[in-house]
């Protein structure tokens, strides 16, 4: 019996595999494609995902292959400087192609011992009270305790579960590709700048070696969006919009994407769960989808591990749906709003001017950045300290940095009083007695995903919160 089968080896699936391996689970990723994709969709990581990489000791790998950009301008492309106070040690966007993110997360998962089987498509599943049976395209049957569908927007797992995916269908489609051009760079840049005055979605950005990433609105939504466009189709659209086709040729790859916006009705049916694009899709404005999926996996991994290991308290796994679905609903809403703000109609343009004026207020600017970067998320853990339910930013301690102590994916009590104890939970929760000038609470109990489960100084209060997240004490 495998502990967890993960259908889909995209960023969400491999992130989850790594998280499960931290807890020693047998995690098997089934990926239908025989080779990693060359198509680059996401172009970067936002602050919360950068923090997640830091919390797992992966930051240096990502920083080494990415480029740091200023954080302003993520909301509907409205350019504003970064607010002075941003509650993160990583106030930048990390530009890094999705293909590299996937490679780094895959390497991390396999180094930890996850098994990744390529060329394996999941086509069927059934479940009973003890486990899930997954059927592969070649007829193989596999059995696991849990199965997670990380198989993207057209999720087979979601369809097999019969989970509804309500929302809006694609009304607009864009063609995207990496191609070579013959037009000189300065001339091309001038044309693009002019076209973007009236076509916000249009773009052609240099990637080096004469290769450009080109995006142009399609004439209509294709009947089958799984079929990539031809070079000629892209050429025609670029010509129609820009008045020149830049001499595009020699495509590295071509793809298309739409603005469909949908949210799964449920994230869990029995022993089968959904994460990443399988649970939510939306247009790429603000660059949030991959980030959202990685953070789904970060939320789910330790909870699933707790279930399999047998120490999960009542309701822990259910909290995956109750915490993460509202976060996705909020991302869907902010992308809907951003789509409106990029319309060239007079009404939305007037609203855009107004939003731009409002963003001159530091608090408004910060609020929108905290939304898009996901550092503003607060899960509903009930009444309590203002940190409760929020993730704690990385803070400096006397003996180093907080996130450096979280690589193992365990709970952590950061105790500035030296009087507290996690006896009974020491196998699941680390007790760190240290002080930080950046933390004005005597002690904070952090879940493995870095969210604050309790803040205070009273041992009895702590004892009443530990079982809620970490189960019963052991002697």
Q: Among 42, 248, 312, 359, indicate the residue that binds ligand FAD (CB under 6 A).
A: 42
Complex with ligand FAD: residue 58 or 388, whichever CB lies closer: 58
Residue 251 touching ligand FAD (CB under 6 A): no
CB of 294 to ligand FAD, least distance (A): 8
Of 20, 43, 134, 377, which one interacts with ligand FAD (CB under 6 A)? Answer: 43
Total Cβ atoms within 10 A of residue 326: 14
Half-sphere exposure of 379 (CA within 13 A, CB side): 20
Q: Of 174, 185, 168, 21, give the one whose Cα is nearest residue 105.
A: 21
Structure tokens at 427: 């196998």
Half-sphere exposure of 333 (CA within 13 A, CB side): 8
Residue the block writes with tokens 């996690």: 422
Nearer to ligand FAD, 131 or 276 (CB): 276
Q: Which of 21, 23, 41, 451 binds ligand FAD (CB under 6 A)?
A: 41
Least separation in angstroms between CB 297 and ligand FAD: 9
* Chosen residue from 13, 83, 228, 448 binding ligand FAD by CB under 6 A: 13
- For the chain, what percentages of helix, strand and coil (3-state, to nearest 5) are there? 35, 25, 40
Q: Which is nearer to ligand FAD, 325 or 410 (CB)?
A: 325
Please, what is the minimum distance in Å from the beta carbon of residue 408 to ligand FAD? 24
Residue carrying the six token digits 């300065």: 186
- The pairing of beta strand 429-433 with beta strand 411-415: parallel
Binding ligand FAD by CB under 6 A: which of 2, 12, 425, 445? 12
Considering only residues 2, 4, 9, 391, which one is a binding residue for ligand FAD as defined by CB under 6 A? 9
Q: Indicate the Cα dihedral angle 380, 381, 385, 388, nearest 10°.
A: -80
Nearer to ligand FAD, 54 or 151 (CB): 151
Residue 453 C-beta: closest distance to ligand FAD, Å: 27
Q: Which secondary-structure segment (H or E) carries 27?
A: strand 27-31
- What mask of x and - would describe binding to ligand FAD in positions 201 to 240, judged by CB under 6 A? ----------------------------------------
- Rounded distance, CA 447 to CA 445, Å? 7
What is the smallest separation between the CB atom of 447 and ligand FAD, expressed in angstroms?
A: 22
DSSP 403: G
Residue 453: phi and psi, rounded to 5, are -90, -20
* Inter-residue contact 54 to 449 (CB < 8 Å): no
Helix (H) / strand (E) element for 145: namely: strand 141-149
Integer Cα distance of 122 and 13 in angstroms: 14
Stretch that binds ligand FAD, among 285-293, 352-360, 396-404, 435-443 (CB under 6 A): 285-293
Find the shortest distance in angstroms from Cβ 287 to ligand FAD.
3
Smallest separation (angstroms) from ligand FAD to the CB of 473? 36
Supply the minimum distance, in Å, between the C-beta of residue 136 and ligand FAD.
8
What residues between 289 and 318 interact with ligand FAD by CB under 6 A? 289-291, 293
Give Cβ neighbours of residue 39 (< 8 Å, ≥ 6 apart): 99, 253, 255
Q: CB count, 10 Å around CB of 171?
A: 12
| Helical packing angle, 362-373 and 318-341, nearest 10° | 130
List 7, 16, 192, 238, residue binding ligand FAD (CB under 6 A): 7
- Report how many residues bind ligand FAD under the rule CB under 6 A: 33
- Please state, as a whole number, how many other Cβ atoms lie within 10 Å of the Cβ of residue 17: 30
In terms of CB distance, is 8 or 471 closer to ligand FAD?
8
Q: Kindly state whether residue 8 participates in binding ligand FAD, applying the rule CB under 6 A.
A: yes
Dihedral over Cα of 362, 364, 367, 373: its sign:
negative
CB of 438 to ligand FAD, least distance (A): 28
**Contact characters 86-115, ligand FAD, x per CB under 6 A:** ------------x-----------------
Q: Between residues 28 and 412, which has the closer beta carbon with respect to ligand FAD? A: 28
Asked whether 402 and 394 are in contact (CB, 8 A), the reply is: yes
Rounded-to-integer distance, Cα 313 and Cα 376, Å: 27
Q: CB of 296: closest distance to ligand FAD in angstroms?
A: 8
List all residues 6 or more positions away from 405 whose beta carbon is below 8 Å from its beta carbon.
397, 412, 430, 432
- Residue 276 touches ligand FAD, criterion: CB under 6 A: yes
Longest Cα–Cα distance of the chain, Å, equals 75
Span from 29-37, 85-93, 206-214, 308-316 in contact with ligand FAD (CB under 6 A): 29-37
* Interaction mask 156-195, ligand FAD, x per CB under 6 A: x-------------------x-------------------
Residues that bind ligand FAD (CB under 6 A): 7-13, 30-33, 41-44, 98, 121-122, 150-152, 156, 176, 257, 276-277, 284, 287-291, 293
């Amino acid at each position: 019996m495998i502990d967890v089968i993960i259908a889909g080896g995209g960023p969400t699936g491999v992130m989850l595999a790594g998280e499960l391996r931290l807890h020693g689970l047998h995690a098997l990723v089934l990926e239908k494609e025989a080779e990693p994709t060359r198509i680059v969709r996401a172009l970067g990581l936002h602050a919360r995902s950068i923090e997640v990489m830091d919390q797992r000791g992966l930051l240096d790998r990502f920083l080494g292959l990415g480029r740091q950009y200023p954080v302003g301008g993520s909301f509907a492309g409205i350019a504003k400087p970064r607010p002075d106070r941003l509650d993160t040690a990583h106030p930048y966007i990390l530009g890094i192609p999705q293909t590299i993110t996937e490679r780094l997360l895959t390497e991390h998962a396999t180094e930890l011992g996850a098994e990744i089987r390529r060329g394996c498509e999941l086509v069927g599943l059934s479940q009973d009270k003890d486990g899930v049976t997954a059927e592969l395209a070649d007829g193989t049957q596999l059995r696991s305790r849990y199965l997670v569908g990380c198989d993207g927007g057209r999720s087979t797992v979601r369809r097999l579960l019969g989970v509804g995916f309500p929302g809006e269908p694609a009304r607009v489609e864009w063609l995207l590709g990496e191609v070579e051009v013959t037009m000189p760079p300065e001339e091309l840049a001038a044309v693009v700048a002019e076209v973007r005055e009236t076509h916000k979605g249009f773009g052609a950005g240099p990637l080096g070696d004469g290769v450009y990433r080109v995006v142009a609105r399609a004439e209509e939504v294709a009947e089958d969006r799984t079929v990539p466009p031809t070079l000629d189709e892209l050429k025609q659209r670029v010509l129609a919009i820009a008045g020149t086709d830049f001499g595009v040729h020699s495509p590295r790859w071509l793809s298309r994407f739409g603005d469909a916006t949908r949210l799964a009705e449920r994230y869990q049916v029995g022993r089968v769960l959904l994460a990443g694009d399988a649970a939510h899709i939306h247009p790429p404005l603000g660059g949030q989808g991959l980030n959202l999926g990685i953070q789904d996996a970060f939320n789910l991994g330790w909870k699933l591990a707790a279930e399999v290991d047998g120490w999960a308290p009542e309701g822990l796994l259910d909290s995956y749906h109750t915490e993460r679905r509202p976060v996705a609903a909020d991302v869907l809403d902010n992308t809907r709003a951003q789509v409106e703000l990029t319309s060239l109609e007079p009404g939305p343009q007037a609203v855009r001017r107004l939003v731009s004026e409002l963003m001159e207020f530091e608090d408004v600017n910060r609020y929108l950045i905290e939304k898009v970067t996901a550092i503003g998320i607060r899960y509903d853990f009930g009444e309590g300290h203002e940190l409760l339910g929020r993730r704690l930013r990385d803070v400096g301690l006397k003996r180093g940095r907080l996130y450096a102590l979280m690589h193992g994916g365990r709970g952590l009590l950061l105790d500035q009083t030296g009087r507290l104890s996690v006896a009974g939970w020491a196998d699941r929760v680390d007790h760190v007695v240290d002080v930080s000038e950046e933390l004005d609470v005597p002690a904070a109990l952090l879940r493995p995903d870095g969210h604050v489960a309790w803040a205070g100084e009273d041992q009895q209060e702590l004892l009443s919160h530990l079982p809620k997240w970490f189960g019963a004490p052991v002697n």
